[in-house]
Amino acid sequence: MNNFLTIADCSPQELQGLLDLALELKQEYKSQGNPPLLKGKALAMVFQKPSLRTRVSFEMAMQHLGGHALYLSPFEIGLGKRESIADVARVLSGYVDVIMARVFEHAHVVELAKWASVPVINGLSDYSHPCQALADALTILEEFGALKGLNITYVGDGNNVAVSLMHIAAKLGANFTIANPAGYDLPEAAVKLGYEFAQASGGSIRLLRDPHEAVREAHVIYTDTWTSMGQEEEAEQRRQVFPPYQVNAQLVAEARPDVIVMHCLPAHRGEEITDEVADGPPSRLFPQAENRLHAQKAILVRLLP
């Protein structure tokens, strides 16, 4: 692995390897603490958008592993504005051992990786959120023992989080279903890849409009914000369209009795998810958020020799 830009770039074996390593690092951390595997290593975290989980979990992951993380806010770097992406990539490569970037356009993180001589991690782009998907898969694995054969249903906007979840589900043999309103479909090219991955793994992909049909027999119901960062101007319009896709107690009751509910957070309680569900017995929202730490340790250890 040279970079971690999308789930689509990783083989099922690499993903499984990352998950096994994440589990190992998690158990080790909880029992005696992690050894300083990344002693003397530095991570630059370039943020073009706000963050709680991504920033804090990467920073703590580096600290637990004996390394160091530097936070670079949108005001400092101005990727492609104050300075070209190619120049930022080459300058940072002279100072640090790995770069994590949260960007607007996916092409920007690809461009960073093209010019950097150190590994680049996608900390969320408009197209995908692979670090999130790895933590999601870890959470599902801990709950059900494997992803193969599970029914994973995403309800809501066909966004970056949905793309990465679809791809990791399809790579690992799960049955992925999405229910979303017309006009908010997953990108066509991502779906095409999803079908290819599912065919290779024995999984499946279903694209539906009806959330009720989508959650039937679901082991996992997943949702995310109706308005992603960068789409704020559409928020009002989206609030008109998405209410039938709210994950509430009634919808959850239509799934399997052992269903778990997931959300990458931040949640907009009362919109895509109700308090009752977010704080109820099927919710795995906080273990899922914690797993960002453990999944990212695995990514960092794999990328840094």
**What amino acid positions are annotated as catalytic residues?**
102, 129, 132, 224, 264, 292
Residue 125 within binding range of ligand CP, rule CB under 6 A: no
Q: How far apart are CA 116 and CA 20, in angstroms?
A: 28
Pair of tokens at residue 214: 């989508």
**How far is the C-alpha of 203 from the C-alpha of 175, rounded, in Å?**
5
Q: How many residues line the site for ligand CP (CB under 6 A)?
A: 9
Query: Taking CB within 5 to 8 Å according to partner kind, which of ligand CP, ligand NVA, none is near residue 225?
Result: ligand NVA
Min CB(229)–ligand CP separation in Å: 8
Among 3, 34, 48, 54, binds ligand CP (CB under 6 A): 54
Q: Is 51 in the site for ligand CP (CB under 6 A)?
A: yes
User: Among ligand CP, ligand NVA, none, what binds residue 248 when CB lies within 5 to 8 Å by partner kind?
Assistant: none
- Under the criterion CB under 6 A, does residue 52 sit at the interface with ligand CP? yes
CB of 51 to ligand NVA, least distance (A): 8
161 binds ligand NVA (CB under 6 A): yes
186-195 contacts, C-beta under 8 A, 24 or more apart: 186/158, 186/162, 187/127, 187/158, 187/163, 190/8, 190/127, 190/163, 190/166, 191/166, 193/8, 193/167, 194/166, 194/167, 194/170, 195/170
Query: Which range binds ligand NVA by CB under 6 A, 5-13, 83-91, 177-185, 222-230?
Result: 222-230
Alpha carbons 174 and 177: distance in angstroms, whole number: 10
- Residue closer to ligand CP by CB (options 34, 225) is 225
Closest to ligand CP by CB, 122 or 246 = 122
Q: Considering only residues 100-159, where is the footprint of ligand NVA by CB under 6 A? A: 124, 159
Nearer CB in complex with ligand NVA: 139/159: 159
Positions in the binding site for ligand CP (CB under 6 A): 51-54, 124, 132, 264-266
Positions in the binding site for ligand NVA (CB under 6 A): 124, 159-161, 224-225, 228-229, 264
